[in-house]
Amino acid sequence: MHLFNTPIANAIADVEVCDNALDGDDSNGIVTTTLVDLTATVLGSQDPMAYTVTFHDTQADADSGDNPLPDDYQNTEVDIEEVFVRIENNLNSDCFDTTSFNIIVNMLPESFDTSLFQCDEDGIPEGFTLFNLTEANDALTGGIPDRSTKFFTSLVDAQNDENEIDGTSFSNWENPQTIYVHVIDNITGCYSIAELLLEVSA
């Protein structure tokens, strides 16, 4: 009689992500999760050649091994969905274990385009002056609590979260000039992008 090892399905922490526009809508609570990236967590120190990990919609499918989900999985339940995981011995599929985790999709915070209008106060009427961009925070966030801002001079920088500028002391070099702003939900870390138009009266 041959004894087969029953694997252990190590626990996976909930996968918490921000909604995005990759599916064409950044406010529908649907994202794509690469499930295969979680395989190593399920295996832990167990031999990846000895066991197979699959992901499933239901506990019943995880128990039977039926209807595995694709590696790149788009959740079908909005905002939060439980995914079930099966790990089985490659030599005996009756030796298996299961666990589960949640995919949690956090909504992007609402943001509001606005403008700052300022007089040219440096004595040289060329249309360039010093702005405190944070003066627009209430307008950008709608005054909603638990919101913060980050400022960028280009949309590409804002999209890539690179080259943040000092919002308390910014000298414009165009008039008018558009600044791109992360409006951040401080609880989830998710952000949306607003536009801040700077205008100088000479």
Mean pLDDT of the chain: 95
Label residues 51-67 b or e (16+ Cβ within 10 Å = b): bbbbbbbeeebbeeeee
* Mean pLDDT on 172-183: 96
Q: What is the pLDDT of residue 122?
A: 64
Using pLDDT thresholds of 50, 70 and 90, give the confidence band for residue 9.
Answer: very high
CA–CA separation, 30 and 28 (whole Å): 5
Q: 91-124, pLDDT tens digit by residue?
A: 999 999 999 999 999 999 999 999 999 887 666 7
Does pLDDT of 80 surpass 60?
A: yes
What SS3 state is found at 160?
Answer: helix
Residue whose entry in the numeric block shows the structure tokens 């919101």: 147
**The pLDDT value given to residue 53:** 98
Contact between 49 and 89 under an 8 Å Cβ cutoff? The reply is: no
Q: What is the percent of the chain where pLDDT is above 70? A: 96
**Is the peptide bond prior to 176 cis by the omega test (within 30 degrees of 0)?**
yes
**Is the CB of residue 149 less than 8 Å from the CB of residue 195?**
no
Strand partners, 130: 171
**Residue 2: which pLDDT band, with cuts at 50, 70 and 90?**
low
pTM of the model: 0.83
**Are 31 and 106 within 8 A, CB to CB?**
no
Residue 123 pLDDT: 67
